[in-house]
Amino acid sequence: MLVLHVSNRMERLTDQLFSVIRDDPPPPWSPVTILPQNPTIGRWLTYRLADVQGVAMNIATPLPGAWIRDFLETGFGRSGQVVHFERNALFLRLLRILPALRDDPVFSEFRHYLGEGDPSRRLVSLSDELSELFDRAMLYRPEWLTSWEDFPEDLSWPAVLWRNVAGKDHPAHFARLLHEFHSLPVLDSLWQEALPDRLFLFGLSGIAPATLDIFFRIGRETSCQVHFFFLNPTDRYWADMVSLRSWEHMEEELKPYFDPGHPLLAFLGRTARDLHKKLEEGIRPEDPVADIRECFEEPEGTTTLSRLQRSLFRMDAAAEFLERLPDDGSLRIVSSPSVVREVETLRDFLLDRFLAQPDLRLEDVVILAPETELYAGTIRAVFEATGESGRAGEPVLSVTVSDRPPFEAALADVLVGLLRLPVFPLTLSFVQRLLSFQTVLDRFSLDRKMASELLEALARAGFRWGVDKQDRTRDEPEDHTLDWAVSRILEGYCTGIEEQGLVFPVSPFVLPDDPQGEKAGILFRLLDLFRSWRDRLSGRHALSAWAESVSALLSDFFVLDPDRDRDLFALGQSLRELCRDIHDVEDMDCMMVTEMLSRRIFRTTWRDRFFSGGITFGRMVPLRSIPFRIVCLLGMGESAFPRNDVAQSFDFLRESPRPLDRSVREDDLHLFLEILLSARSSLWISYVGGEGEDGTTGLPSPPVRQLLETLREPFPPEKKGQGLFREVPSDPFDPSCFSREAGSWGSFSSSRAGIVRSRSTRTDSSPSFFVPKKGRLVLPKGPEDRGSGRRISLSRLQSFYRNPPFYQAKNVLNLAVAGERPLLLDEEPFLLDPSQEMADPAQNPWPPVGPLQREQQTRKRRERRERLLGGFEGLQEDHTETRRFSLGIGGSLLFGTLSLYRETGLIVQDPFPWALRPPDLLRVFLAHLAGSLAFSFYRGTVLLNLAKDFPRTDSTDRPVLWSSEPEEATRLLRPYLVLYRRFRTRTFPFVPAVSLAYALEQRNQRGRGPDPRKAIAAAQTAWRQLDPWRTDHGQKNSWKSPFRKDPRRREGFYPHLFFDPEGDWIKDPFFGLLAQKLWNPILDRLFSDGQEGER
């Protein structure tokens, strides 16, 4: 018996399914066999049946393909033999066979392909593509495979290759079982015993014709009832529907036989039309063993979404869309400037829907995206955040992220990089990616702060690429390898000398804040580990040996939990099972293994967590037409959806296409049609449409554009803020998002609303630096440091006063800030003359640099020092050494290291080829005070090349000497420590260059009566010059310089995020007090009394 159930509503199909089960319930010991198109549909049916009946038990929901394989194997008595021709088995067989066949003239095209590029990777790639092709042929062209085996005279390359893969004994693969099944004259009692009383194929939307023919025969020739449940968007005949464009280009005599119909159905419904036609051919009303049961339901309602679904049902778009549709919240199409704004706007939309529909539950909402990895982190951050700046009170929406790959892309890339160490040398950027994983940090007992310090140490020590000399050619120096950089660090720790000496192979490098050598030891351990694994992974080994190496590699670099990291934990076991169940593959190198992992392991299975509670966020997967009250689609851009079919030149299936052939593009288009039918209350569609770096604007995907055209909605919108299609403001603090006119498009963020309110109500008469005018960064209000805050590192104290907002953004708010200087690139510098470098210091690599540049810089620095420091006796012959110190000052413990000249007791601050700027001078002054207290032999600090920020009447080329002052150092240093402890985690209105301008102006007014307005005006001028978005920064707009184009790397970027960009915060009296308190001691030591009045 064949029964076809057809409806345009998935709920009506489930009602018919449950009705059939209730009318004729099976015995308690017999399971109900339901074959869903997707595991998610099977789980949804079980839950729905439990809701209807109160309990759902003894229900089997295997997939149709798996059930057919078990049925055929059981019927022919060949259980377990088909597994050897599944996708992975075909892949390993081809991987072993192809190298032996490459010299055959039949495979000349493959021989040419394998001869180009990396032969190992190309062999794996070709094996994977061919295994997918033969696996598809097993379902869609089974007769071809059996014909190639039965008739050896066919000498085409697919036939020859398949015979080598299958062997000479006509093995029992799926295509052979299908051929033998259809060759049976009658299905005897043995086949009948393998069948249940009833089979339910639910949610048919994509199935191979050969598989469908098996179910047709079962229903006709056995007592098993086969029920097909098919979702059809309309009750009208539409198998001959074509697009309007195709219909207009037809010849006139053919037009009466085709129907242009509904434009959306014509564009999206090819898969459904072909399947419906196949079902109607197999199940005819006049057939005595066939029955067709229709349960259509015309969509009711006056909402835009209901009218769209009704137009699809009636196949009449013109009647429903005669006029502009209202924005009632049921259908929205949104263009956002970024992923974050896209998700934030969706969150506001959902909060509005929950407010408008009190009975709406979180489980009634589903969010789908073509690329889940692009949105998963943002979804969690936006939906489950408890409020900006750590404040509670923001609405929280619980989200379950489904369809995550077993291996995150970043983790898979790192693992591939480790396995490719023999071929692709280690780089600093790779070490940075490796240390970003918590499981790696756990293996080396590191926290993220220590990992950041290790990376900075490697960068400043000069590591670029390569583990050691072995990664370089014979004539290349080992400079900038990991071994070279770690050797510098170890020598610096042991000797404390940073100058090139006669006894050292490389110049030592001293790590600050590493008195016990902990960082040096960890870096040496990393070096030893990288070196040993590079050597172990070299050469060619069997796949089974690679499985053991992968397990050992994971154990050495990661701390894995069998439950939390089960996929990564079982990676080596997965490779061992392939070798055990199929066969081993000899002679594989690391490139073949990584390519195999990337293609066959990392992207195979996905974690399905639908119906696990809360809002479900998952991947747009075909065959998943489950109804939800609210359906939201993210990332519906032109390049993301629909996916394109990648046609290989050797794809023999495309040479003779057939209806229902697998096409990822048609699958995606059919999925979009199913989504239009499955949304019950609201449908949200959005994409990133902002302007990209190349100046182009993102466009919606073709199905979305077709939907807009059908709805007669103009694209782009004619008027801002009207219609179903909207463009989201890029600024989340745009007043239009918080006005009454915004309506359901408004923002629900109370913290942002407060900032917007503060913008509109603020006046110059009540300035406050605690609330940024543009609402960017706000520090959480908390107490001053206690306990651990009394132990202060000199390097952290210097970093704080160099740029307090940058320090707080990095260490208090834990933002991934752009560094004061960028990490070293993976390439070495080859600049010959440092005097010709860019004016921006952060553009240039700091020492150590390339050998030629290092030699040039050393010679120029030596000549300059001989000229400027000739008056300091013995300084030219002296060498520096690094000494550690620890000082107790006013309840604080200040510790760190200082590099001094051994005999003369001087510190020389020479930033050649640059100048000492205000942030640098603060750092130097703190080191000078610490040296005065810590070392009795310290004589003072010599300053060279002061910047123009410090006006002087004499030559700025003359050295400045700050003599040691142990009597005053404690008094001068205590305020810096107290302010650091009190304001390290609180707003601190101090910017070195701006505060210096204020302090200098106040000093110039001595004897004439102070005028704070002039000092404030000078500070505001300096503040405006620090604006990182100014257009008069010289080379700022140069496309050749990413650094100059990026305002994040400018000195004033983070201050402008904390403080009012207009400079009103400078009027606060506390700013002036801090400026004079911190700068006057330095200015007193720079200028004599006769020079203070000169500017």
- In sequence order, what DSSP letters do the residues of 714-749 get, joined into one string? -SS-SSTT-SSEEE--S-TT-GGGSSGGGGGGS---
Which residues fall within 8 angstroms of residue 147, CB to CB, at 6 or more apart?
Answer: 154
**Sequence-ordered alpha helix ranges (H) in 582-701:** 590-596, 664-678
Residue 794 CA: distances (Å) to CA of 39, 63, 84, 475: 60, 65, 66, 42
d(CA 188, CA 196): 15
Query: Taken in order 593, 595, 596, 602, is the CA torsion positive or negative?
Result: positive
Q: In the prediction, which pLDDT does 80 show?
A: 64
- Segment holding 956, helix H or strand E: none
Q: For residue 229, name the pLDDT band (cuts at 50, 70, 90).
A: very high
d(CA 1075, CA 1054): 19
Which residues fall within 8 angstroms of residue 246, CB to CB, at 6 or more apart?
Answer: none
Contact 980, 792 (CB under 8 A): yes
Phi, psi of 681 (to 5 degrees): -115, -50
Which two tokens mark 153? 């005279």
Q: For residue 686, name the pLDDT band (cuts at 50, 70, 90).
A: very high
Average pLDDT over residues 780-793: 60
Beta strand 960-963 pairing with 940-943? antiparallel
Q: For residue 721, name the pLDDT band (cuts at 50, 70, 90).
A: low
pLDDT of 321 higher than 90: no
Phi, psi of 207 (to 5 degrees): -155, 145
By the 10 Å C-beta count (0-12 exposed, 13-18 middle, 19+ buried), 823 is classed as middle
Q: Which pLDDT tens digit goes with each residue over 544-596? A: 888 889 889 988 998 877 777 777 777 778 788 777 777 778 888 888 888 88
d(CA 535, CA 532): 5
Least Cα distance to 312 among 417, 231, 224, 406 occurs for 231
Coil vs helix vs strand at 993: helix
Which two tokens mark 1081? 């001691």
pLDDT of 498 higher than 80: no
Q: In the prediction, which pLDDT does 589 show?
A: 85
This prediction's pTM: 0.73
pLDDT of 1089 higher than 60: no
Per mean pLDDT, which of 848-862, 940-954, 1030-1044 is the most reliable? Answer: 940-954
**Sequence-ordered alpha helix ranges (H) in 420-517:** 428-434, 438-443, 448-461, 482-495
Least Cα distance to 802 among 604, 533, 518, 1055 occurs for 1055
pLDDT of 397 higher than 90: no
Phi, psi of 2 (to 5 degrees): -115, 125
Q: Report how far Cα 1020 is from the mean position of its chain's Cα atoms.
A: 40
Range 448-454, long-range pairs (CB < 8 A, 24+ positions): 450/519, 450/522, 453/513, 453/519, 454/519, 454/522, 454/523
Q: In the prediction, which pLDDT does 1092 show?
A: 41
Neighbours of 514 (CB within 10 A): 19
Q: In the prediction, which pLDDT does 505 show?
A: 59
Contact 298, 310 (CB under 8 A): yes
| CA gyration radius, the chain | 36
Residue-range domains of the chain with CATH:
2-78+184-233+269-297 (3.40.50.10930), 82-171 (1.10.10.160), 325-404+608-622+629-745 (3.40.50.300), 408-420+540-605 (no CATH), 423-536 (1.10.486.10), 787-1091 (no CATH)
Side chain identity at residue 570, one-letter code: A
pLDDT of 621 higher than 60: yes
Q: In the prediction, which pLDDT does 57 show?
A: 83
Coil vs helix vs strand at 617: strand
Query: Taken in order 703, 709, 712, 716, is the CA torsion positive or negative?
Result: positive
Which two tokens mark 993? 């260059």
Q: Which pLDDT tens digit goes with each residue over 922-931? A: 999 999 999 9
Point out the least confidently predicted range of 240-249, 482-491, 599-608, 1014-1023: 599-608
Q: Which pLDDT tens digit goes with each residue over 1026-1063? A: 887 665 544 434 333 444 455 666 788 888 888 877 88
Point out the least confidently predicted range of 132-146, 679-693, 842-856: 842-856
Exposure b/e, 308-335, CB count within 10 A at least 16 = b: bbbbbbbbebeebbeeebebebbbbbbb
In the chain, pLDDT over 70 holds for what percent of residues? 82
pLDDT of 627 higher than 60: yes
pLDDT of 756 higher than 80: no
Contact 418, 395 (CB under 8 A): no
Q: Which pLDDT tens digit goes with each residue over 239-294? A: 777 766 777 777 777 777 676 778 888 888 888 888 888 888 888 888 888 889 99
Q: In the prediction, which pLDDT does 777 show?
A: 59
Which two tokens mark 131? 């295994």
pLDDT of 333 higher than 70: yes
Least Cα distance to 423 among 525, 540, 523, 575 occurs for 540
d(CA 1037, CA 1031): 8
- Segment holding 227, helix H or strand E: strand 225-231
pLDDT of 473 higher than 90: no
Average pLDDT over residues 820-827: 50
Contact 38, 10 (CB under 8 A): no
DSSP 8-state symbol, 788: G
Average pLDDT over residues 1074-1088: 86
pLDDT of 699 higher than 80: yes
- Segment holding 564, helix H or strand E: none
Bridge partners (DSSP) of residue 962 are 941
Q: In the prediction, which pLDDT does 931 show?
A: 92
Q: In the prediction, which pLDDT does 781 show?
A: 55
Range 733-736, long-range pairs (CB < 8 A, 24+ positions): 733/759, 733/774, 733/775, 735/760
pLDDT of 295 higher than 60: yes
Q: In the prediction, which pLDDT does 628 show?
A: 92
Q: Which pLDDT tens digit goes with each residue over 6-63? A: 998 988 999 999 999 888 888 878 889 999 988 888 888 888 888 888 888 888 989 8
pLDDT of 348 higher than 50: yes
Which two tokens mark 934? 């810590």
d(CA 14, CA 930): 79
Contact 299, 306 (CB under 8 A): yes
Q: In the prediction, which pLDDT does 847 show?
A: 45
Q: Which pLDDT tens digit goes with each residue over 120-177? A: 888 888 888 888 899 889 989 999 999 998 888 888 888 989 988 888 777 788 888 8
> Following DSSP, what letter does each residue of 833-899 receive, concatenated?
-GGGS-SSGGGSPPSS--HHHHHHHHHHHHHHHHHHSTTSTTTTT--EEEEEEEEEETTEEEEEEEE
d(CA 228, CA 230): 6
Angle at the Cα of 496 from the Cα atoms of 493 and 498, rounded to 5 degrees: 105
Coil vs helix vs strand at 942: strand
> Which is higher by pLDDT, 1035 or 849?
849
Average pLDDT over residues 910-925: 84
Q: In the prediction, which pLDDT does 722 show?
A: 67
Q: Report how far Cα 891 is from the mean position of its chain's Cα atoms.
A: 45
Q: For residue 383, name the pLDDT band (cuts at 50, 70, 90).
A: confident
Residue 505 CA: distances (Å) to CA of 134, 499, 502: 59, 12, 8
Point out the least confidently predicted range of 8-17, 67-76, 494-503, 910-919: 494-503
Average pLDDT, the chain: 80
d(CA 595, CA 120): 9
Count how many Cα atoms sit within 13 Å of the Cα of residue 251 in the half-sphere of its side chain: 2
Q: In the prediction, which pLDDT does 734 show?
A: 77
Q: For residue 839, name the pLDDT band (cuts at 50, 70, 90).
A: very low
